[in-house]
Structure 1
Amino acid sequence: MLLLGGMATAGVMFPVREDPPSPDLTGLLGPLRARWREVTVEESPAGVRAAARHRDTMAPAAGSLWPDLPFPSFIETPARLLTMARAYAMTGDARLAAAVATGVDHYRRQVYTAGAAADGNWWHWEIGVPTRLLDAAVLIGPHLTDRRRAALADAVDHFVPERRLADYSGTSTGANRVDLCTVMLLRALIGSDPGKAALAAAALTPVFRYVSEGDGLYRDGSFIQHTTVPYQGGYGAVLLHGLATLFAVLRDSPWRITDPDRRHVYDSVERSFAPFVHDGRCMDLVSGRGVRRQPDGDRVRGRRLAAAILLLAETASAAERARWLPMVKGWAVRGAYEPTGRVAAVLGDGEIPVGREAVGHRLLPMSARAVHRRPGWCAALSMASYRIAHYEHGNGENPRGWHTGAGMLYWWGEGHGDHYSDGFWRAADPYRLPGTTVSTRRLPDGAGPAWGGACPPARWVGGATDGTYATVGQHLYGLESTMEAVKSWVFLDDAVVCLGAGITSTDGVPVETVVDVRRTDAPLTTGAGWAHLEGHGGYVIPGDQRLRTLRGRDQVTLWLDHGTDPVAAGYAYLLLPNADLARTRARAAEPGWARVLVNTGRQQGVHIPSLGITAINFWQAGSTGGVTASAPCAVLVRERRDGTATVTVSDPRRELTELTVTWRRPVTEVLRADPLLTGVATGPALTLAFGRLADRGGGSRTVRVRTSHGARLKTRAARG
């Protein structure tokens, strides 16, 4: 077996097996094949019916296996064979097994044969086709003759030799690495090769390590694939399901996964994946180029994540299962999942409660994403930076996703969990996506490099959060445009404060900020400085800003026009999810509820007196709202009624070796410090000195203090 220990994740070289496989372990592969069937085959009456249709219509010919699927048919033909094999595993119908054996060998001889050139997309030859053919071969067992099994093994060895797992780089990282290891394990099972089983398990090691760049899981919960694309909803779901499968199949075998860093995979359920599922649907902002791949794609992705989590739960701790099963059951109920397999078991178990939507704020600075949850509503923010692409296109998919990283603000109110499903994208104007600030300069399909290559130079992208509230900002550069701006969002209990400043462009076309786009035919009411969309929420647009509106078929668009070639233009507005007409009007009549302290290219900040919140994004060092910062940073101050306060800071640029923040408020003591604090001064003002924030990946650091008011409250309480 390969012992990889604690090798680094990037550029790892894995020794390729030279010795013949140990005969002592060969006999243990039989139980492993049975375990594969137990783990991967779930009861599906619909699958059995589909398999019968495939069997009855299969007609092997020179250029096809089914008349409607001419070769190479890399996806559909192997998928039908696997459906038939799984139906055989459920029913024991020998006719299905015989048809699968014939079909696998026919496809192997005409398309996937040893010595053939791997033309086109490498993924089909190394992952897509071999995974399905090998899976089908394992499931039908002896119905595939030794000769046919050996020929399939030779074909797989041609396209996926052991040396493919020798280096953790290129296309052999993250989810792709998990898939390649799955191929290697299946190859071990059909060829009775313990050495390949050992290689499959050992080569997973670098997948478990947290990374700080490139593909993989990050400490802040981010998951990246294709180097620059947040991908929990696509490749991430593949990685999670693949690892859950391998953990479950190998757990009682000599090749069980024992690497201590596998713990990161279990942690990722709540840190990386669950934050991006709302009402059973996986959000588009972590789904790369696949957002328009199929109708109702967000629910399909949510269902896949649910299935992966339930499978992973089988090898998780009892405490994790107690949290995950209700969570998934809640997704299944609200997302109206089809009750099949493990999901059906959870739905039918009356002992498992229906989990509610979580509350709190999750900021993932390493992937320029944020998710804010409060009772009854949820919002999510998609940004771009020097390390995260504006968008991804490739293989002809998502050619007009240009501006999805320009501060697109998704939000879901009561009863609108499906708002961004397929109907939204079909009708959406790609130049007018909610929350974005965009030059209307016309772009060609597929503008910018493919596969996530379009990264702007912005470094200040991120923010600060205390886990409940947040201030988030983006230094925005337009895609193939001269447009530049700074944008901030402050996420609160019942509102999002949206600020923009320094909006400048020389493209010769108008620049717009899109306040919102809602898929609805509900009545829109407007007044002086406000607008209300019945059943959705309200908007407060203070000052002399002119809100423009457009009603199309089943869609309402609200935006602000900054004019052609603006210079240092700006905006400020409130988004009020679920607000009725009366609350919208009341909030518009109370301008002091959210006081804009500053809104320039140097700083953007607000004060919310009723919540005791001061939130400031310092694009440059400076002072505002009683807060001074010695360098660019994000600061969130929260004063509580018990006389305590928290000061949360972050370094979104990940560059600071030191930072000093002063809050001009009398403070008597520090109640909870932070390991990065290098100096503290209390008294008439609080001064906090931090060191090496650059090492924290843009993460937030919080210090809790007692104010002079709190000290007086404490003294009164002591006196009785």
Structure 2
Amino acid sequence: MTSAWSRRTFLAASAALTAAGTALTPPASAVPSSTSPAADPYAALRTTWSALILGEGFSPTAEPFKSRLADLGTKARNLLEAMAPVDGSLWPDDVFADPDPDTDAESYGFSGRMADSFTRLSTMAQAYRQQGTGLTGDTALRDAVLTGLEHLGSQVYHDGQTRYGNWYSWQIGAPQALLDVCVLMYDAIAPERLARYCAAVDHFVPDSAVASYTGTSTGANRVDLCRVLALRGVVGGTAAKIALARDALSPVFPLVTKGDGLYADGSFIQHTTVPYTGSYGSVMLGGLGMLFALLKGSAWEVTDPKRQVVFDAVENAWAPFLFNGLAMDAVAGRAISRGESDDHRRGHPILASIVLLGQGASAAENTRWRSLVKGWAQRDYYSPPLSNPSLGLTALARVKNVLDDPSLTPVPEPDGHRLFPDMARSTHR
């Protein structure tokens, strides 16, 4: 086991990154990519995805964004100061080395920490790119992110590694965060390194992951896998990967009569039998909104007419279980056991996802949904969405945009009774 890096060692390694040919540039939010989006469709997609991750249309000096950006900077600075790459970990409290691959319980936890390490790097990359964090364009932060990617890539997430523990960490958690970082830091990562990171994603998330609509490749999980494949195509400049991701979304759209998915009565099931509108359903809705927005106007736009099923489900499946900003516990499954969240905090991301999804729907649907969201958000006196500390900057900006829109008349909660026999649930107002 090697010792933690000293400050001198860390700076030496950062200098080595430059010597190895890594392009070190100011933050891409301030300096355009060297390749024009108009001339490079992948550059255009990177620009779109960066906006989806970082948010847009808000002032970094206005509240609530000013405080959130400062908090992001503080979190990133703490991560920077605590980073200590050694064999088996990137941070002392996030050991990902599996000491006993034959012990499933231990392997499960260590694989989760590996994914968490990538998520921490994503937080640092966002602080580097965002304005108002106090670390915008900070070279030490940038170099730390690049060093972290290399450490995780050489230690654990590479194409020669046999996965252990939870499949989710390897196929969704880690690659989503990794690819987000690759997009945000694209101009600072040497092509050879990007190629290795893409090879690692290909190893753990091969095309066969979406070859059949079964097992762990259904519903929200399928949308998450498609996000990985799409971003892998964007980062690696591989049209076939993006096309595969787009086409692999189609099995999510049709109504189902058993198993995972949306039902005609408005039910949403995941894990075969569990009512999950407020948890997995939220992930699926948010993931579809992001992918629709990413690919809109590109050569890979999602045009399957059956996507209207998802649009119809906004009011048929999700709205019935939203009440004044909260998402009802009865359709949140095991998510109700997570202490950092409650019904309001689970509801607010759904509101933001509905706003995003509306950008790809009809004008009438978009206006009505924004009016629904305005009503839900205004009436959430107990836990106002703009005060939700777990609501990301992007979601926060979407909800605030709706609240500030004077053209929208809030839609009141409806009266009536709804039955959802396919998941044995009902709502009464």
TM range (shorter): 0.7 to 0.9
How many residues are matched?
349
- The answer to which structure has the higher helix fraction is 2
Amino acid at match of 1:369: R
RMSD over aligned Cα atoms: 1.9
For 1:182 and 1:303, the matched residues in 2 are separated by 22
- The answer to which structure has the higher strand fraction is 1
* Maintained 8 Å contact 2:94/2:114: no
* Maintained 8 Å contact 1:105/1:152: no
Amino acid at match of 1:93: G
Higher relative contact order (CA 8 A, sep 6+): 2
- What is the SS of the residue equivalent to 2:303? coil
1:296 Cα deviation after fit: 4.2
Kindly indicate whether residue 131 of structure 2 is the aligned counterpart of residue 86 of structure 1.
no
For 1:162 and 1:214, the matched residues in 2 are separated by 23
- Consecutive unaligned residues of structure 2, counting only runs of 5 or more, are 1-37, 56-64, 97-109, 388-395
Other-structure match for 2:371: 326
Amino acid at match of 1:272: A
For 2:206 and 2:365, the matched residues in 1 are separated by 37
Amino acid at match of 1:51: A
Other-structure match for 2:41: 28
Other-structure match for 1:70: 95
1:63 Cα deviation after fit: 2.7
Percent of aligned pairs with the same amino acid: 46
1:228 Cα deviation after fit: 0.4
Other-structure match for 1:368: 424
For 2:51 and 2:126, the matched residues in 1 are separated by 11
- Consecutive unaligned residues of structure 1, counting only runs of 5 or more, are 1-24, 374-720
**Larger radius of gyration between Structure 1 and Structure 2:** 1
Amino acid at match of 1:342: R
1:252 Cα deviation after fit: 0.7
For 1:50 and 1:58, the matched residues in 2 are separated by 12
Other-structure match for 2:343: 298
* Maintained 8 Å contact 1:26/1:194: no
For 1:101 and 1:350, the matched residues in 2 are separated by 44
Amino acid at match of 1:352: L
1:295 Cα deviation after fit: 4.0
* Maintained 8 Å contact 1:40/1:245: no
Name which of 254, 274, 287 aligns with 1:209. Answer: 254
Task: String of CA shifts for 1:439-460, please: whole Å, max 9, x gaps.
Answer: xxxxxxxxxxxxxxxxxxxxxx
For 1:231 and 1:132, the matched residues in 2 are separated by 24
Kindly indicate whether residue 380 of structure 2 is the aligned counterpart of residue 355 of structure 1.
no
Kindly indicate whether residue 385 of structure 2 is the aligned counterpart of residue 337 of structure 1.
yes
Paired residues for 1:139-178 under 5 Å: 139-178=184-223
1:184 Cα deviation after fit: 0.3
For 2:200 and 2:415, the matched residues in 1 are separated by 50
* Maintained 8 Å contact 2:420/2:426: yes
1:200 Cα deviation after fit: 0.7
Task: String of CA shifts for 1:447-500, please: whole Å, max 9, x gaps.
Answer: xxxxxxxxxxxxxxxxxxxxxxxxxxxxxxxxxxxxxxxxxxxxxxxxxxxxxx
Paired residues for 1:78-477 under 5 Å: 78-91=118-131, 92-95=136-139, 96-333=141-378, 334=380, 335-338=383-386, 340-373=396-429
Amino acid at match of 1:336: P
Name which of 40, 54, 62 aligns with 2:53. Answer: 40
For 2:277 and 2:154, the matched residues in 1 are separated by 36
Name which of 55, 58, 75 aligns with 2:83. Answer: 58
Alpha carbons of 1:354 and 1:175: their partners in 2 closer, same or farther (altered >3 Å)? same
For 2:214 and 2:189, the matched residues in 1 are separated by 35
For 1:28 and 1:229, the matched residues in 2 are separated by 40
1:344 Cα deviation after fit: 2.1
Alpha carbons of 1:295 and 1:162: their partners in 2 closer, same or farther (altered >3 Å)? closer
1:99 Cα deviation after fit: 2.3
- What is the SS of the residue equivalent to 1:65? coil
Other-structure match for 1:469: none
* Maintained 8 Å contact 1:325/1:352: yes
1:48 Cα deviation after fit: 3.5
Paired residues for 1:681-696 under 5 Å: none
* Maintained 8 Å contact 2:358/2:369: yes
Alpha carbons of 1:130 and 1:26: their partners in 2 closer, same or farther (altered >3 Å)? farther
Task: String of CA shifts for 1:604-643, please: whole Å, max 9, x gaps.
Answer: xxxxxxxxxxxxxxxxxxxxxxxxxxxxxxxxxxxxxxxx
- What is the SS of the residue equivalent to 1:233? coil
Other-structure match for 2:103: none
For 2:114 and 2:52, the matched residues in 1 are separated by 25
For 2:248 and 2:367, the matched residues in 1 are separated by 31
Amino acid at match of 2:51: E
* Maintained 8 Å contact 1:215/1:225: yes
